Each structure stands twice: as structure tokens, then as C-alpha cells.
Structure 1
Amino acid sequence: MSPMDGKARYGNRSLVYDALADERRRHAVRLLDDADAALTIEKLAERMVESDGGRTDGSADEAAITRLRTSLYHVHVPKLSDAGIVRFSPERRRVRLTDSVSLDALDAIGS
């Protein structure tokens, strides 16, 4: 059984593959899984920048966070939401992982 088989019941499988094809989105999914709770778009962007080589003192480049926060809000999180991988509240700017796709799928895709 494919890690994606469960998702086929809930929506278009090609949406899932398309959403997970992007490395940045796979990274976001991994960080959301590690968080075990909803994160704000801001916090997700901070964690992504820090894990991608942020400063060793724990602070991340503010310009990089701003760019990533914008792309997460307008591109990446909506695509993950459309595929049913995350739940997103634009009003609260919070995102959380759903249980609809096994994280083994990320390994199968090559994350």
C-alpha cells in the first residue's frame, strides 16, 4: 500500500503529489510535524530560516523571514491546504498538520 493511498479517499491525489513536490513545502510539513501543534505563519517562517542555516545565536535573518513568511502565506501553505495536508486559518495566520497523509510519503518522494 502506498503512503498516499489514504489521501485518495479525500481528494485528488495529484494535488498531494504536486504540493509535496516542492522541497520548501516538504520542509514546512516536517517542521509542523515536529511542533505537534498549530504554528503561526511567522513562527513557521522563523523555524524554517533557522533550520536552513540561521545564525548560531538562534536569531534568523529578518529579511529572509519576511520573504519566507510572504511566500508561505500566499503560495506554499494554501497549496498544502488545498491538498488536505494542512489546515490553515488565514484570519489567525495559523497552520497545523492534518492526519490525512502519512509522513512516510515525504520519504517516498525524496525529502
Structure 2
Amino acid sequence: MTATPPTESDCVEFVLAVLDNLESCEASAPTVNRAFGLLSDQRRRLLLEVMRTYGESLTLPDAAEEVAVRETGCKVTNISAERVHEVYISLYHDHLPRLVDAGLLEYDQERDLVSPAALR
């Protein structure tokens, strides 16, 4: 799947829309910076999107599979086990801890279960 690259005007429109929304938001500059930091990585955004879509607990392997599907635009049957494993490892070691620390997700390591927290 090839995505159409964003145009400069797309980016400008998005930034202006975000700025319009920030004007009505009562968040401090450090809070806004932290939020943008969390959202700066596509894989974190996709994991949050997956958890919002399902709205319930998922095993981390299932969440990783769904993130891989959304990253590639392919059916899960067309994605290698190695690719899904790579997504799982990066979620487990990098992205999930950041989102848990931020209070957006919860993680039960014993059951390898990810749950929406603030996404409810």
C-alpha cells in the first residue's frame, strides 16, 4: 500500500486546526508538549487508535497484530510473523511503557493484557 504524501497545505491546515483547538483548551505548555511528544510516533498513535476502536482489553500480541495491519495496510494473513514480533517488541519495550506512564493505557504484565484507561 502506498500512501499519498501529505502536501504542504495539508500540514498547514492541520496545524491551524490544532492551534484553533488549543485556544479553547486549558492545558499548560508543558502538558501540551508532553501530549505532542506522546503522539509524535506513528506506532504509539496506532496503538491508541486500536485501543479506542476496540474499547476493551486486548492481549499485547493481538494489539501488536492490529498495529501491524494498520501500519502496512495488509491483511494479517499477508504480514510475516517476524513483522508482528518486531511490532510486539517495540510496543512492549518502548511505546506501551510511555502510554502507561501517561495514564492512557494500563498493562497487566502477568496476563500480557493491555487495557484502555483514559481512552474510555
Counterpart of 1:105? none
8 Å contact kept, 1:15–1:82: no
Equivalent residue in structure 1 for 2:87, among 68, 72, 78: 68
Letter in 2 for 1:52: E
Counterpart of 2:36? 17
Matches within 5 A, 1:34-45: 34-45=53-64
8 Å contact kept, 1:87–1:96: yes
Q: Per the alignment, in what secondary structure is the counterpart of residue 114 of structure 2?
A: strand
8 Å contact kept, 1:38–1:97: yes
* Structure 2, unaligned runs of 5 or more: 1-20
8 Å contact kept, 2:105–2:117: yes
Structure 1 position 32, deviation (Å): 0.6
Pair 1:67–1:100, CA change in 2 (3 A): closer
Paired positions, count = 95
Pair 1:51–1:90, CA change in 2 (3 A): same
Counterpart of 1:108? none
Q: Per the alignment, in what secondary structure is the counterpart of residue 106 of structure 2?
A: strand
Q: When the two structures are superposed, what TM-score results if normalisation uses the length of structure 1?
A: 0.71
Give, in whole Å, the separation in 2 of the partners of 1:31 and 1:76.
Answer: 13
Counterpart of 2:69? 50
- Residue by residue over 1:64-110, the C-alpha shift from the partner in whole angstroms, topping out at 9 and shown as x without a partner, is 00111011111100000111111111221111122269xxxxxxxxx
Alpha-carbon RMSD: 2.6
Pair 1:29–1:100, CA change in 2 (3 A): closer
Give, in whole Å, the separation in 1 of the partners of 2:63 and 2:81.
Answer: 13
Give, in whole Å, the separation in 1 of the partners of 2:93 and 2:48.
Answer: 16
Work out the percentage of aligned pairs sharing the same amino acid.
26
